[in-house]
Chains A and B, each alone.
Chain A
């Protein structure tokens, strides 16, 4: 099965629907949890990918996010804390004909699984990673995480945290990530769109989902996700389009020297031509990094696909090396190997 030379994932001969991916398990996230919206987006995306339903595989670690595989009817492994990236790597390398999706959280991937997270990215293994970032440890009931804003009061930081949080985008690009996108759990349309882009990208795709934990970190992303002012505080990046945002579409991002700057169209003679045009396929991660780092209140946060650069994937290269070795090595069977080198007959 895994010896097929064709690396494309087998297509479904029939049209699939949401129902093809509904599992028989009760969804046990808290009512109002942002994870429900993510599950719903996945249910929309999976049938439309065109893959055979048997070729989809979900992997997760530990945490609220990591219950995900039980709620989608695919092949799936609910792993151990922090190790989803390592398990997924094994799955994809062993069987490159699977479309592998990973559900993980800010604790699972940024703290206990930080090492695996940076290395899967560095290797560029073709896996789609949904990073549920709710800035808190939910399943253990409310301790701060590596993405909790500094100063936040949580159960383990009664006087406020004194740790500098990770910005996942910075970490991804620092690890030579080829795909990074950011979405918000209250924008299902955008989430669906970005998941398709991640599936299309050949390599490790990270989708950071700003997710609300209604119990332990309610409204943690509210300053940027609140429907009343999100148009002022988010910029939706679209490839090939100038970077414009704001309710009146009157603001934009331009490069000023070596820094980004927010400008108002029409003020001081600024026109659309002065603005940066988004190029998610650019190999150089410089601008992508600046976009990923944009933060409220000085900037709108970047939403959408920030980077989608084309690099060889680990899983493809494994297959190439094996095919090359099979064609060129004299050792075709284990018997060949056992009898290779210095051997002698004893009568």
Chain B
């Protein structure tokens, strides 16, 4: 079937973006494309870009849904700045996404959708296919709708059903461009449409029709060849950040022997964690969809008191609503993990877009002096690890932990090397023993300062705790001034001492140099890639990425001091840089910020770092 094309373009990475109307099935197309890439042995990262509206008006810019895939033979850390191939299923999607295409990129459009009304609705004065505005690109005008209909005519099914499979035509074109097999996609059809043989048949016909079309078209007379990525041997799967988060918690529950309880309320872009955990009752997960964000966290606090690995998941506005209850968990010193899948704020803000602007809220957004642990995942795949670690810290140190991820990590996907649960670190919560004569609710471990977890039902440990200030050791209500000061100090010190149990901060590159680029959370991939590019050019620049924010790793100051300048890059107006200024003195800080609801591109980071290198 595969005809050898005249031009084979060797690439170590290619970025493909599928865009279309909300109903065009772009998310599925992108997912099938990535699964096939993964089976072909490539590393990859994906990112869906969809509107807040479920189905915005047909053929409008507001209704454009997209899915970007970055595949490569090298380690893929980001979803890619600009795309090499753009597949646009209608004029509006072309109009809104052309800016993401590389100069000279291949643009494949469904020319059948470029009729007068749709062109006007997209905001074009003239057809971009005819007016020469795309002449610097390799434009492929494909009659996707009409060829899909023609290929399915013999089956005698209705046009509406037929048109639903046009995305498979586009996918067929892509498989030709990459020279990939249909096997994985056929498997998907066979499983997904088991009871509908006609749908399976239709999809296969259209996929092959797209492939054959590409084979015959001159504009597609070159194919990409991306060799296999040098991945660490092991078993792999594709995983989104939100699913990885959910699974990390399940692993922590299993290893700790503590039953999982999630109290949550749906909110974009965190809902998938709730949906995912609701599936695994067979693993004993208790998932409570509460009446609001506050009930979500309060039910988790109740469950925590009884000895569950207690979780609540949310996004920015939900974290605001949970603030008072986080204070209760701090005061009662109960383990609790609060996940904030950050989105653009303030208020309702940009629900489907990514941002890192809830850092201040996570660190400081509560009444009183109210320290909680704050950690941040840095890739879709390592959301698994950080959900696990957050659970471990919460339970072993008897404290609430805020785990920050973001929309980019949560919705994006990456290859995930499947671990064995037995190989994960131990989790040993300080559970009080029945009839322990020394048990007092606020007696602490001398090393960690964690109090003991005394579970209802256990003999000899009945006790009451609550949000009023506690008497040291005994835990009775106390308004004694010196006791309050002591307890305030103890609560803070307990969190600070967690620095003794977390890894030291690492540097990519030399330990001394001109500029140290600092990042935290979901921007890791883009920053790491930008720094590596500059290091290859011989520039004296290194990178350090923070996963542990409260407390910071013990060697933080040590890491920072080897550099003339420190450039802190983050998707907000400078929250982490200000936090560093507060806590790590004597360094020259400068910052690069973006608050557009979008992730960093490698290109803009390279420019920013170069500028910092050049400035005296």
**Chain A residues proximal to chain B, CB less than 8 Å:** 1-3, 10, 23, 25, 52-55, 57-60, 62, 69-70, 73-80, 83, 85-95, 97-98, 115-116, 119, 318, 321-322, 324-326, 328-329, 331-335, 337-339, 341-347
Decide: B295 and A55 in contact? CB cutoff 8 A: no
A94 and B261: CB pair below 8 A?
yes
A85 CB contacts on chain B under 8 angstroms: 295
- Return the chain B residue nearest A1 by Cβ: B457
The listed residue with most B CB atoms (<10 A of its CB), out of A90, A95, A97, is A90
Minimal Cβ-Cβ distance residue in A for B331: A80
Assembly CA distance A77 to B457 (angstroms): 14
User: Complex formed: what's the CA distance from A70 to B474 in Å?
Assistant: 13
Contacts of B279-323 to chain A: CB distance below 8 A = 280-284, 286, 288, 290-292, 294-295, 298-308, 310
Do residues A333 and B466 form an inter-chain contact, with CB atoms below 8 A?
no
The docked-state distance in angstroms from the alpha carbon of A265 to that of B587 is 92
Q: Which of the residues B235, B299, B324, B468 comes within 8 Å of A345, measured between beta carbons? A: B235
Q: Are B459 and A54 in contact (CB under 8 A)?
A: yes
> Which of A25, A74, A86, A335 is the most central at the interface, judged by chain B CB atoms within 10 Å of its CB?
A86
Contact A54:B298 (CB < 8 A) given known A80-B328, A93-B286, A93-B288? no
| Structural contact, B298 and A90, CB atoms closer than 8 A | yes
Closest to A322 in B: B281
Q: Is the CB of A90 within 8 A of B459?
A: no
Instruction: Please give, as numbers and ranges, the residues of chain A lying within 8 Å of B463 by CB-CB distance.
Output: 75-76
Check A55 against B302 for contact (C-beta < 8 Å): no
Contact of B298 among A57, A74, A86, A94 (CB under 8 A): A86
Nearest first, the 3 A-B pairs at minimum CB distance are: A78-B466, A90-B302, A90-B299
Among A83, A333, A343, contact of B254 (Cβ-Cβ < 8 Å): A333
Cβ contacts under 8 Å, A328 to chain B = 282
Given known A-B contacts A86-B295, A98-B306, A344-B236, A3 and B284 have beta carbons under 8 A apart: yes
Nearest Cβ in chain A — how far from B244, in angstroms?
A: 10
- The winner among B298, B308, B418, B455 for most chain A CB atoms within 10 A is B298
Question: Knowing A78-B464, A87-B299 touch, does A95 contact B457 (C-beta < 8 A)?
Answer: yes
Specify the chain A residue showing the minimal Cβ separation from B424. A334
- In the bound complex, residues from chain B placing their C-beta under 8 Å from that of A25 are 476-477
Name B248's closest neighbour in chain A (CB-CB).
A334
- 18 extra interface residue pairs, beta carbon distance < 8 Å, beyond A53-B462, A86-B295, A325-B280: A1-B307, A54-B456, A75-B456, A75-B464, A77-B332, A79-B466, A83-B298, A85-B295, A86-B294, A89-B288, A90-B299, A94-B259, A94-B308, A116-B294, A321-B281, A334-B250, A344-B235, A344-B237
CB of A88, distance to nearest CB on chain B (Å): 6
B600 at the interface (CB under 8 A from A): no
Asked if A80 and B464 sit within 8 Å, CB to CB, the answer is: no
Interface string of B254-281 (1 = CB under 8 A from A): 1000010101000000000000000011
**Nearest CB of chain B from residue A99's CB, rounded to whole Å:** 10
Contacts of A80 in B (CB 8 A): 298, 324-325, 327-328, 467
29 A-B contacts (beta carbon < 8 Å): A1-B307, A62-B467, A74-B462, A75-B305, A75-B462, A76-B463, A77-B301, A77-B464, A87-B298, A87-B299, A91-B306, A91-B456, A92-B302, A93-B303, A94-B307, A98-B456, A115-B295, A119-B290, A325-B282, A333-B254, A333-B283, A334-B247, A334-B254, A335-B421, A339-B235, A341-B237, A343-B235, A345-B236, A346-B235
Q: Which residue of chain B lies nearest to A10 when distances are taken between CB atoms in the complex? A: B457
- Bound CA span A54–B291, Å: 30
- Complex interface: stretch among B35-43, B346-354, B552-560: B35-43
Asked if B251 contacts A334 (CB within 8 A), the reply is yes
Contacts of A87 in B (CB 8 A): 298-299, 301-302
- Decide yes or no whether B60 CB sits under 8 A from chain A: no
| B39 contacts across to A, CB distance below 8 A | 344
Name B residues whose Cβ lies closer than 8 Å to a Cβ of A: 35, 38-39, 41, 184, 231-238, 247, 250-251, 254, 259, 261, 263, 280-284, 286, 288, 290-292, 294-295, 298-308, 310, 324-325, 327-328, 332, 418-421, 455-468, 476-477
Is the pair A343, B237 in contact by a Cβ cutoff of 8 Å?
Answer: yes
Give the chain A neighbours of B35 by CB distance below 8 A.
Answer: 342
Are B302 and A58 interface neighbours, CB within 8 A?
no
Q: Is there an interface contact between A95 and B237, defined as CB atoms closer than 8 Å?
A: no
Q: How far is the CB of A25 from chain B (nearest CB, A)?
A: 7
Partner of B466, one of A69, A75, A331: A69
Q: How far is the CA of A76 from the CA of B307 in the complex (A)?
A: 13
Q: Is the interface of B mostly helix, strand, loop or mixed?
A: mixed
CA distance A1 to B254 in the complex (A): 14
Partner of A115, one of B291, B304, B467: B291
CA distance A341 to B184 in the complex (A): 12
Chain A residue, CB-CB nearest to B328:
A80
Q: Given A1-B457, A55-B456, A332-B282, verify A77-B250 contact (CB < 8 Å).
A: no
Q: Which residues of A contact B464 (CB under 8 A)?
A: 23, 58, 69-70, 74-78
Question: Closest Cβ of chain A: how far from B256's Cβ, in Å?
Answer: 12
Residue with the highest number of chain A CB atoms closer than 10 Å, among B282, B295, B308: B282
Give A82 to B233 CA distance when docked, in angstroms: 53
Q: A79-B466, A334-B247, A343-B418 are in contact. Are A97 and B457 (CB under 8 A)?
A: yes
Chain A residues within 8 Å of B286, by CB: 93-94, 318, 322
A83-B294, A333-B254 known; A90+B283 contact, CB < 8 A: no
Q: In the complex the two chains form, what is the Cα distance from A87 to B291 in whole Å?
A: 13
Contact between chains at A119 and B254 (CB < 8 Å): no
Interface-central residue, B35, B238, B294, B332, by most chain A CB under 10 Å = B294
Q: Specify which chain A residues have a CB less than 8 angstroms from the CB of B455 in the assembled complex.
A: 1
Are A83 and B282 within 8 A (Cβ)? no
| Cβ-closest chain A residue relative to B454 | A75
* Chain B residues with CB below 8 A from A53, complex form: 462
Q: Which residue of B lies closest to A331 (CB)?
A: B282
Q: Tell me which residues across on chain B come within 8 A of A10, comparing CB atoms.
A: 457
Shortest distance between the CB of B345 and any CB in chain A (Å): 24
Q: Which listed residue, B233, B247, B302, touches A77 by the CB 8 Å rule?
A: B302
Interface centre among B41, B231, B235 (most CB of A within 10 A): B235
A54 with B466, Cβ < 8 A, contacts A87-B298, A95-B306 known: no
Chain B nearest CB, measured from A50 CB (Å): 16
Distance A89 CA – B262 CA, assembled complex (angstroms): 12
For B301, the closest partner residue in chain A by CB is: A87
Contact B291 A77 (CB under 8 A): no
CA distance A322 to B231 in the complex (A): 38
CA–CA, A339 and B251, complex, Å: 13
Taking CB as reference atom, which chain A residue is nearest B43? A346
Q: Which of A80, A94, A324, A342 has most chain B Cβ within 10 Å?
A: A94
CB distance from A67 to the nearest CB of B (A): 9
